[in-house]
Amino acid sequence: MHVVKAAVIGIVALAVAAPALAQETRVDRRQDRQEQRIDKGVQSGALTPHETKKLERGQRHVEALETRAQADGVVTAREKVRLEHAQDVQSKRIYKQKHDDQTR
């Protein structure tokens, strides 16, 4: 009987945690892709050192938002929207800086 209860509790805990883990993975993957875009911009010369510094500061801001959202163990819908918006803004900034006429 105790084994069945433990199994049910484990399954319920996994079902509750799975959506939060999926969001975390999605946010982390997007952060990785955006950092790769910045790195490629540096390698190609499309980003100046000043632009790179600003973009990296933006990446740290998004990471701080993610850390705060996950601090209590639950990422709310509102926090997800805010994170996605911050990543959208950062993505547009990366594109804009990589495609302007400034080069190093």
Render pLDDT for 6-27 as a digit per residue (tens, 0 to 9). 666 666 665 655 555 555 578 8
C-alpha distance across the termini of the chain, in Å: 69
Tokens at 102, concatenated? 């400034």
The pLDDT of residue 31 is above 80: yes
Q: 74, 24 in Cβ contact below 8 A?
A: no
Name 98's Cβ contacts closer than 8 Å, sequence gap at least 6. 37, 41, 46, 47
Render pLDDT for 49-88 as a digit per residue (tens, 0 to 9). 999 999 999 999 999 999 999 999 999 999 999 999 999 9
pLDDT recorded at residue 97: 95
Q: 27, 83 in Cβ contact below 8 A?
A: yes
Q: Which residue has the tokens 């069945």?
A: 4
What pTM did the predictor assign?
0.74
Integer Cα distance of 23 and 25 in angstroms: 5
pLDDT-based confidence at 89, cuts 50/70/90?
very high
